[in-house]
Chain A
């Protein structure tokens, strides 16, 4: 089975940095994804890691360690619009393209 854990909630101040951790135990591994979901809306793709290391995209970065079953999403220079739920998802096998999602981390950015 799949077990994907991330914190339920985090709060940070505008302009600050927040790191959202995700640990996973899955029967296989072929990539880890981060999605952002604003309340009442569909998830939107943020990042994809399949090799160890850091992927940077503007204010957002994602890190992966396959040996530790661990990833984090780093949000820098927080803005009020970053208040959302952040979903960690793992693709188990290379051929079926199914994703298993964590429950999501709700980030609240305060002024």
Chain B
């Protein structure tokens, strides 16, 4: 079964600083990968998803970007963080089998101050 690694677990960054969050997947190949953000007490908002290397779809306009340089690596970035970028960032993986299930990494809690 697949394992999703996300790091760091927590991050405190000043406004205007850059961001790079990494997600890597083990135990599967050619997965669909997703970045979600969850604000405090809110549901999950899909930010980006990718069906393959170099293929990124953005769901909402924002201050963030995503890249998929390798099959099992998904990176979330920003050049200049805003206060509103604070939240809980979750990477998810969907294995292309008949289960249709998305599995989540442990998440990164980002505080922009």
In the complex, chain A residues whose CB is within 8 Å of the CB of B103: 45
* Minimum CB distance partner of B45 in chain A: A101
Interface centre among B42, B43, B105, B107 (most CB of A within 10 A): B43
Q: A residues near B, CB below 8 A?
A: 31, 33, 40-45, 48, 50, 87, 89, 91, 96-104
Q: B residues near A, CB below 8 A?
A: 32, 34, 42-46, 49, 51, 59, 90, 94, 99-107, 109
In the complex, chain A residues whose CB is within 8 Å of the CB of B49: 96, 98
In the complex, chain B residues whose CB is within 8 Å of the CB of A104: 42-43
In the complex, chain A residues whose CB is within 8 Å of the CB of B105: 42
Determine whether the beta carbon of B44 is less than 8 Å from that of A87. Answer: yes
Known contacts A33-B101, A48-B99, A43 near B46 by CB under 8 Å: no
In the complex, chain B residues whose CB is within 8 Å of the CB of A31: 100
In the complex, chain A residues whose CB is within 8 Å of the CB of B100: 31, 48, 50, 91, 97
**Chain A nearest CB: distance from B55 CB in Å?**
12
* Minimum CB distance partner of A104 in chain B: B43
Determine whether the beta carbon of B101 is less than 8 Å from that of A45. Answer: yes
**Chain B nearest CB: distance from A97 CB in Å?**
5
Determine whether the beta carbon of B44 is less than 8 Å from that of A41. Answer: no
Complex formed: what's the CA distance from A65 to B15 in Å?
46
**Chain A nearest CB: distance from B10 CB in Å?**
10
Complex formed: what's the CA distance from A33 to B109 in Å?
24
Determine whether the beta carbon of B102 is less than 8 Å from that of A44. Answer: no
**Chain A nearest CB: distance from B87 CB in Å?**
13
Interface centre among A48, A89, A97, A102 (most CB of B within 10 A): A97
Q: Which of A43, A50, A98 contacts B104 (CB 8 A)?
A: A43
Determine whether the beta carbon of A97 is less than 8 Å from that of B107. Answer: no
Determine whether the beta carbon of B104 is less than 8 Å from that of A42. Answer: yes
In the complex, chain A residues whose CB is within 8 Å of the CB of B44: 43, 87, 89, 101
Q: What are 25 A-B interface contacts by the 8 Å CB criterion?
A: A33-B101, A33-B102, A40-B109, A41-B106, A42-B90, A42-B104, A42-B106, A43-B44, A43-B90, A45-B101, A45-B103, A50-B100, A87-B43, A91-B100, A96-B51, A97-B100, A97-B102, A98-B49, A99-B46, A99-B102, A100-B46, A101-B43, A103-B42, A103-B43, A104-B43
